[in-house]
Amino acid sequence: MIVLITGPSGAGKSTFIAGLMARRPELEFSVSTTTRPIRPGEMDGRDYDFVDDAGFDRLVAADAFVEWAHVHGRRYGTTRRRLDEMTRAGKVPLLDVDVQGGVSVIQQFGDAIVSVFLFPPSWEELERRLRSRGTDTEEAIAGRLKTARAEVAFAPRYTYWIVNDDLEQAVDRMTAILTAEACRSRSFPAPPLE
């Protein structure tokens, strides 16, 4: 199983994922590689693997990525190495990637993907959350809102939709999805009783 979470910037993905991971120890966050600058409070190797453009080019040339995309003017990608490490450790990888990456991994991994699109409760609330985060200029916020409209058009490609209204309730809905997914017959290599 690989868990995929996608949603517009400001929908609350990071907050939601932190709440979810505190409750589901089988999950491990998939650390992406990016060319964007590190933000205060972030740690290289924990939040992202931060590389420069030449470093990213080398990884692309070496076919190191399962998927990669331009997002908000920077490049982001999921490496095979990170995914393999998690799978070998018996963890369930949790990917937070944009719609381009999401559609790509849904196509590549099919039934193994539990895909979730996280919605903000409204456009007004999305704008409020983007402002409240305090990390973006007005111009960047306008850009993220425009991108958000294009992103939600991809939501029908995702199996599950969660509206991140009340955080606790949203995380409750996600833990119910994970429990149900783990009970699907295809999750078992053989029937529980021979």
Binding residues for ligand ADP, rule: CB under 6 A, are 7, 9-15, 129, 132-133, 164, 167
Among 16, 29, 56, 76, binds ligand 5GP (CB under 6 A): 76
Question: Which residue blocks in 33-164 are alpha helix, DSSP H?
Answer: 53-61, 80-88, 99-109, 123-133, 138-152
Q: What 8-state DSSP symbol labels residue 120? A: P
Q: Does position 36 bind ligand 5GP by CB under 6 A?
A: yes
Q: Does position 28 bind ligand 5GP by CB under 6 A?
A: no
Among 15, 24, 87, 100, binds ligand 5GP (CB under 6 A): 100
Q: Which part of the chain contacts ligand 5GP (CB under 6 A), choosing from 55-63, 81-89, 94-102, 181-189?
A: 94-102
Task: Give the three-state DSSP class for 63.
Answer: coil
Tokens 């990608």 belong to residue: 77
Task: From the list ligand 5GP, ligand ADP, none, pick the one residue 133 interacts with, judged by a Cβ distance below 5 to 8 Å according to partner type.
Answer: ligand ADP
Q: Does position 147 bind ligand 5GP by CB under 6 A?
A: no
Question: Least distance to ligand 5GP from the beta carbon of 185, Å?
Answer: 31
* Spacing of C-alpha 102 from chain mean position: 8
Task: From the list ligand 5GP, ligand ADP, none, pick the one residue 12 interacts with, judged by a Cβ distance below 5 to 8 Å according to partner type.
Answer: ligand ADP
Burial, 126: exposed, middle or buried (Cβ in 10 Å; 0-12, 13-18, 19+)? buried
Task: Give the three-state DSSP class for 41.
Answer: coil
The Cα–Cα gap between 57 and 63 comes to 10
Nearer to ligand 5GP, 125 or 136 (CB): 136
Q: Does position 148 bind ligand 5GP by CB under 6 A?
A: no
Q: Does position 119 bind ligand 5GP by CB under 6 A?
A: no
> Per DSSP, what are the bridge partners of residue 79?
65
Question: Least distance to ligand ADP from the beta carbon of 186, Å?
Answer: 30
Ramachandran angles phi, psi of 154, nearest 5° = -90, -5
Longest dimension (CA), the chain: 61
Residues lying near ligand 5GP in the complex (CB under 6 A) are found at 9, 32, 36, 67, 69, 71-72, 76-78, 96-98, 100-101
